[in-house]
Structure formats: structure tokens, C-alpha cells
């Protein structure tokens, strides 16, 4: 049973489109994250949610909007996609008492 | 601004050799220093972590050495195996921090 699952695994779309990536964790964790991994493999935090409340919102264009319907889910919606948005997006979660982050398998977004 | 600096960017080691990856940080508020291992097409997974109250932590073939005064920590992989070939990331976070600050990663290749 996958701990942190993301869908889709691959996403190819045209510039200007709107797309969503879904994430679900079955670990009972309170905190969920979105990280972006660029072509040079650099991992950077985008958003952090704790119990459905936005905690961290790094300097990410407001075309990116996270939504947490409940503490097991954190979705990422991206409007007006640009070529520079092409990257691998990782969802992760941590428990309130622990520090280990569990990552999903990633969503490779390609904007053409 | 890169909060955790990692070197080298890539590393080639012969099977049975020692792999050493170094990281440095500036923020003295960091109190948790994990290393993550990432295989192609997968999300990062926690390998080993240390807190600044100890200078070394060993788990199997993997050892973290931590130098608080120098603000540096390193990962040593003893008896490196081809299966260790992956990208390794050091990271750091502050107490009750909601995000990991990652280094830029080291691509390790262990040759047979």
C-alpha cells in the first residue's frame, strides 16, 4: 500500500493550459508539502500545509494554487502553464512528532 | 539563496571504496540534518539523519559526521556498492520547521 501517492505520474500539456496534480497520503500525517525538482535535480519547497492550513508559501507565482480538502489530501492546481513550469513535482508528508519526510513518486510535468 | 551547500556535484567510486559527500550551512538555527537518497524515477527517501548534539551517527555502511563549530556535515558510504548509485541530497531544517532546505544533490556512480 503506497504511503504517499500522486497522480498523474506524467503530464504533458500545452502552454496556457490549466492542470492539476493530486496527492494522497495514508500515513495519518498532519503536514503535507509540495516540492519542485528542476532539470538540475534541485529540490525546492513550494508549499506546506498543516492540518489543512497553509503554513509555507514560498515565492511561487500565484498561478500555482494548492488546495487541501482534508489532511490526507493536498492537490496542486496550475493555471496558464508556462514552459518554465516543466519540472518534477513531489508531494511529501511528515508526522507531527517526527521529522522524516515521505515523498511520493513524483509527477513529471512537461509543458510544450 | 542556497541555505545548504553540497559538494561534489558528481562522484565516481569503485566498488568497495568509500564515498564522501560534504555539506555546509550558515543558519545556526538548523537542528535537524537528514540525508536523502533518490533513484531515477523515484521520490527521495530518508537514508540517515543526525541532530547537532552528536558528532557522528552510523547505520550500517552509512555514517554522518557532524562538525557544529564548522557548520559542516558529511555522508560517508563505506564499501560502496553499484546498488548505491543514486543522487544523494543533504538537507537541514529548523525546530518545528515545516520544510527541508536541500543541497543541490550529488550524483554518485559506483563502478563494478
Asked whether the beta carbons of B74 and B21 are under 8 A apart, the reply is yes
Number of residues that this document lists for chain A:
112
Nearest CB partner across the interface for B98, out of A41, A55, A104: A55
- Say if residue B105's pLDDT is above 70: yes
Which residues, listed in sequence order, are joined to residue B65 by a DSSP beta bridge? Answer: B56, B74
CB contact under 8 A, B100 and A105: no
What are the residues whose beta carbons fall under 8 Å from the beta carbon of B30, sequence distance 6 or more? B52, B92, B93, B94, B101
Residue B88: name the closest of B55, B41, B44 by CA. Answer: B44
Question: Are residues A50 and B98, on separate chains, in Cβ contact within 8 Å?
Answer: yes
Comparing CA positions, the residue from B22, B17, B20 lying closest to residue B33 is B22
Going by DSSP bridges, is the β-strand pair A31-37/A87-94 parallel, antiparallel, or unpaired?
Answer: antiparallel
pLDDT reported for residue A106: 97
User: Nearest-CA distance from A81 to chain B in Å?
Assistant: 23
- The DSSP bridge partners found for residue A56 are A48
- CA gap A111, B39 in Å, rounded: 24
* Residue entry with cell 498543516: A50
Q: Which of residues 51-70 of B touch A (CB under 8 A)?
A: none
Question: Per residue of chain A (112 residues), what is the pLDDT tens digit?
Answer: 679 999 999 999 999 999 999 999 999 998 999 999 999 999 999 998 888 888 877 778 999 999 999 989 999 999 999 999 999 999 999 876 667 899 999 999 999 9
CA B67 to chain centre: 14
Q: Is residue A45 less than 8 Å (CB to CB) from chain B?
A: yes
Per-residue pLDDT at A102: 94
In this predicted structure, what is the pLDDT of residue B1?
A: 67
Helix and strand element counts for chain B (H, E)? 0, 11
pLDDT single digits (tens) B33-72: 999 999 999 999 999 999 999 999 999 999 999 999 999 9
Residues of B with Cβ-Cβ distance to A41 under 8 angstroms: 38, 87, 104-105, 107
Amino acid at each position: 500500500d503506497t504511503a504517499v501517492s500522486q497522480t498523474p505520474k506524467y503530464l504533458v500539456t500545452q502552454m496556457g493550459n490549466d492542470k492539476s496534480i493530486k496527492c494522497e497520503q495514508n500515513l495519518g500525517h498532519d503536514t503535507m508539502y509540495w516540492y519542485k525538482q528542476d532539470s538540475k535535480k534541485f529540490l525546492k519547497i513550494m508549499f506546506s500545509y498543516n492540518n489543512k492550513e497553509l503554513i509555507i508559501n514560498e515565492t511561487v507565482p500565484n498561478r500555482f494554487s494548492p488546495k487541501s480538502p482534508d489532511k490526507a489530501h493536498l492537490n496542486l492546481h496550475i493555471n496558464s502553464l508556462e514552459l518554465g513550469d516543466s519540472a518534477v513535482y513531489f508531494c511529501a508528508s511528515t508526522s507531527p512528532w517526527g521529522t522524516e519526510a515521505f515523498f511520493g513518486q513524483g509527477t513529471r510535468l512537461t509543458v510544450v | 539563496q542556497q541555505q545548504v551547500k553540497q559538494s561534489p556535484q558528481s562522484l565516481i567510486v569503485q566498488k568497495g571504496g568509500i564515498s564522501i559527500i560534504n555539506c555546509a550551512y550558515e543558519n545556526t538555527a538548523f537542528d535537524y540534518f537528514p540525508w536523502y537518497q533518490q533513484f531515477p524515477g523515484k521520490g527521495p527517501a530518508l537514508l540517515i539523519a543526525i541532530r547537532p548534539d552528536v558528532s557522528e551517527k552510523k547505520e550500517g555502511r552509512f555514517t554522518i559526521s557532524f562538525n557544529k563549530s564548522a557548520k559542516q556535515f558529511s555522508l560517508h558510504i563505506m564499501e560502496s556498492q553499484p546498488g548505491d548509485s543514486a543522487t544523494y541530497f543533504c538537507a537541514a531544517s529548523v525546530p518545528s520547521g515545516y520544510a527541508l532546505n536541500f543541497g543541490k544533490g550529488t550524483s554518485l556512480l559506483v563502478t563494478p
